[in-house]
């Protein structure tokens, strides 16, 4: 496997993401929730690190993203920010922290920015939350949108199937994407929608479109780190490319350690004082 060396070592900003889109340079984005992984992801040359509310599933073992709290997201955001030198860091506002009203949304976003020192926040949804997005943006906080499969609405959708296959939903998604750009969002994540629809949105909008399960004709890609490293072993959707089998590697290493302890092989005379 190759190591990647970014040409530009400067800190990534929302403006630089826009320039990347303009010159056709794809944007790479991955999640991280803790200091150790964020150090590795950032030093590998990542453009954007998302402190995703998928931490609810990956870190806390919940079946959905709904239970994670604002304080828990702030804990993850702070840990990641201690590690990151170059990547732009985006923290998800969790379910229930911005849908109530614009003031609640603003308070949550300000709390995240003040305590974590992250660069931006991400929210899920379109016209339904436009006033909240406007209020957050008016405080000078960069906002990333998220349309298509929005996991915070899983109880409304009823499944994690591909979204916007039907014309009405596709039309609403296109209108919402334009609205998010007009409001001033600096980028949008499109999750699990037909590739042709994602391509159309990316070509109509000037802001970067980051896809997950949305095909290759968008401005960048995002995956959940633990999924692409093979640490989330049961999760193998079609859009996921597996870059390592770390689940197997961890289990084999742990198994070897147990064997070494039980057979008195570890520690040996050079591993003691
Ligand atoms: O929380 C998350 O990890 C996300 C990505 C799937 C985009 O929102």
State how far the Cα of 150 lies from the Cα of 94, in Å rounded to an integer: 12
Residue 6 lies in a domain: no
Domain count within the chain? 2
Say how many Å lie between the CA of residue 264 and the centre of ligand 1.
Answer: 44
Residue 94 lies in a domain: yes
Q: What domain range is 136 assigned to? A: 14-242
Say how many Å lie between the CA of residue 38 and the centre of ligand 1.
Answer: 15
Residue 1 lies in a domain: no
Helix%, strand%, coil% for the chain, nearest 5: 45, 15, 40
Q: What is the pLDDT of residue 165?
A: 98
Q: pTM of the full predicted structure?
A: 0.97
Say how many Å lie between the CA of residue 193 and the centre of ligand 1.
Answer: 14
Please tell me whether residues 264 and 161 are part of one structural domain: no
Residue 5 lies in a domain: no
Please tell me whether residues 91 and 39 are part of one structural domain: yes
Please tell me whether residues 138 and 65 are part of one structural domain: yes
Of all protein residues, the one whose alpha carbon is nearest to atom 4 of ligand 1 is: 52
Please tell me whether residues 191 and 251 are part of one structural domain: no
Please tell me whether residues 233 and 260 are part of one structural domain: no
Question: Which H, E and C letters describe 7-35, residue by residue?
Answer: CCCCCCCHHHHHHHHHCCCCEEEEECCCH
Nearest by Cα to 38 from 77, 92, 93: 77
Write the pLDDT tens digit of every residue in 212-224: 999 999 999 999 9
Please tell me whether residues 251 and 224 are part of one structural domain: no
* Pair 191, 214: CB distance under 8 Å: yes
Please tell me whether residues 70 and 117 are part of one structural domain: yes
Q: What is the pLDDT of residue 3?
A: 86
The number of angstroms, rounded, from the C-alpha of 211 to the middle of its chain's C-alpha atoms is 10
Task: List, for the chain, all residue ranges whose pLDDT scores fall below the cut of 70.
Answer: none
Write the pLDDT tens digit of every residue in 127-152: 999 999 999 999 999 999 999 999 99
Please tell me whether residues 190 and 265 are part of one structural domain: no
Q: Is 92 annotated as a binding residue?
A: yes
Please tell me whether residues 259 and 124 are part of one structural domain: no
Residue 3 lies in a domain: no
Q: What is the pLDDT of residue 5?
A: 87
Please tell me whether residues 195 and 257 are part of one structural domain: no
Mutate to test the pocket of ligand 1, among 125, 154, 189 (most ligand atoms within 8 A of CB): 189
Please tell me whether residues 30 and 146 are part of one structural domain: yes
Please tell me whether residues 141 and 263 are part of one structural domain: no
- Domain containing residue 152: CATH number: 3.20.20.60
Q: Which two three-digit tokens encode residue 131? A: 């006033």
């Amino acid at each position: 496997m190759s190591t990647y060396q970014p040409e530009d070592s400067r800190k990534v900003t929302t403006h630089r993401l826009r320039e990347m889109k303009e010159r056709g340079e794809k944007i790479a984005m991955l999640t991280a929730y803790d200091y150790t992984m964020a150090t590795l992801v950032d030093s590998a040359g990542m453009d954007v690190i998302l402190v995703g509310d998928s931490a609810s599933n990956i870190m806390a073992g919940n079946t959905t993203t709904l239970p994670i709290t604002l304080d828990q997201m702030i804990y993850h955001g702070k840990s990641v920010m201690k590690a990151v030198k170059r990547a732009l860091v985006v923290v998800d506002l969790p379910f229930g922290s911005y849908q109530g009203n614009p003031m609640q949304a603003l308070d949550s976003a300000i709390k995240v920015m003040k305590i974590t020192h992250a660069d931006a926040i991400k929210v899920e949804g379109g016209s339904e939350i436009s006033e909240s997005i406007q209020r957050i943006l008016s405080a000078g906080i960069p906002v990333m949108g998220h349309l298509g499969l929005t996991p915070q609405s899983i109880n409304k959708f009823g499944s994690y199937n591909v979204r916007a296959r039907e014309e009405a939903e596709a039309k609403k998604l296109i209108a919402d994407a334009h609205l998010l750009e007009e409001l001033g969002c600096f980028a949008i994540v499109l999750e699990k929608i037909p590739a042709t629809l994602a391509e159309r949105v990316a070509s109509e909008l000037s802001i970067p479109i980051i896809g997950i399960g949305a095909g290759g004709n968008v401005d960048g890609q995002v995956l959940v780190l633990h999924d692409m490293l093979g640490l989330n072993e049961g999760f193998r959707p079609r859009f996921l490319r597996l870059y390592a089998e770390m689940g197997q590697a961890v289990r084999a290493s742990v198994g070897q350690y147990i064997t070494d302890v039980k057979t008195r092989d570890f520690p040996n005379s050079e591993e003691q004082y």
